[in-house]
Structure 1
Amino acid sequence: MTSISVSKAHCFIGSSCANPPVAVRFFFQELAMYSWTVVVVVISALAPLTKQRDPGSECGYDEVVLPRPRKDSFCRPELTSDVHLLELRKCVCKPGYVRNAWGRCIPDKHCMRCKKWPNADYHTCEIACPLTCGEPVPTVCKMACDVGCACPPGYVRGSGKKI
């Protein structure tokens, strides 16, 4: 059984931070954030390897194959990019599952846990050191994933507020 952390701060769109993190303020101006880039690249490269597949199927264990592609159901469509929302899929989440903002199928019950926070969605592999408004970019971060409510892509945590 997984537990959801309740001590995480609200998520905000990166540009709405009163004092955005260094990564948000200088991302396009300076490319000196190699450590953060390496963390993101490594996690992005490893993400496809974690997707479990049903033997003999092109879909994951939490998906079903359809004869014709269609759009899938999402936990928090308002926080999900149009790329995921509008994608026509032959593999959709199986009954009792919905997609999260990262495009992964999650159980409905996990989706409901995060709806009490306006800008959070359930994630099975949240980066252990997320960006936070007004805080420096973490230079040392454990490479493990945290499971629970997280800021979706394009959002950063607000400092000092609890979700």
Structure 2
Amino acid sequence: AKSAEEEAEEAAEAERAAEEEKAREKELATAKMEREMARAKEAMEGGHLFALNGVSTQLKSLCFRQDMREVGVRKPLADLLAQLERLRGINEALKERARREGYMWHLGSATLLPQQHAQPPVAQSAAPSSSLLEDAGLLGSSVGGAEGRRGSQG
């Protein structure tokens, strides 16, 4: 009878140990997920799109305030807003093209990476090609390669 009680006690102890292990694993998984979410949020907030949205909002509110004072600043600010919208459209076109080519944008590293299940095109790097930039309207068809990219930046 004593051995049966000992076996039951050992089984209960083993079950408690298993439950404690599951609880620890769950805590670790939760902590890992929270770290990943914080890292993704930090990457997003440090990214150019987050900054662009903030600048757009500030410029729009500045336009509104300037209109209230009847100062002629709205036109240059409206031009800047239009340019921001154009760049946002180019960014969306580049993202869509990259998706079609089998790439995805990784927020954490701020790089273009091949999608896990997609095979990247042969002889192409993870960086956007000049044809990608030409399609988006960043490069003229007569300008190509690294020279065109340098010219479009400045």
**Structure with the bigger percentage of strand:** 1
Normalised to the residue count of structure 2, the TM-score between the two structures is 0.29
Instruction: Return the index of the structure with the highest Cα Rg.
Output: 2
Greater RCO, CA 8 A, separation 6+: 1
